[in-house]
Amino acid sequence: MQYKDVNMEAAKRIALVAHDNKKADLLAWAKFNRDLLEHHTLFATGTTGSVFENELGLKVHKLMSGPLGGDQQIGARIAGSEIDFLIFFWDPLEPQPHDPDVKALLRMAVVWNIPTACNRATADFMISSPLMDRDYNRQVPDYDFYTNRYQQP
């Protein structure tokens, strides 16, 4: 398969998502990393975005609640190269009614090769990486084959 580079600018577009049982963990992580996060553009689902704005004093682009379509909105933004980075503290021990949406969101992150953290340790390593504050070209499979395969010559 062929690959193409997608530029991620120094100011990353970061999606912040957490299941209900993990919202406090994500908020604690964000408070600890507030100074690093303020240099980036933040997106969040539902109440997570409002809580982050109130608690951190940072501008957050708020989308719908995850179960109401917010996970899919983030997935669409990933596919459209509008989000560079996903921090998704999900709860592996609690069944979620919107589990197919969660799996679809994680799938989009892998398909489009964006950095993804599902727990605090991974998020800590990623946000402290020297790559966070500079341009980075991530390689993405060139999906033109799929989009063009049914077009008539």
Active site positions, annotated: 71
Please state the separation of Cα 89 from the chain's center in Å.
10
Contact 17, 108 (CB under 8 A): no
Is beta strand 13-18 parallel, antiparallel or unpaired with respect to 3-8? unpaired
Both tokens of residue 122?
Answer: 């991974």
Answer for the pair 55, 18: CB distance below 8 angstroms, yes or no: no
Q: Which residue has the tokens 């799929």?
A: 146
81-113 in b/e form (b: 16+ CB < 10 A) is eebbbbbbbbeeeeebebeebbeebbebbeebe
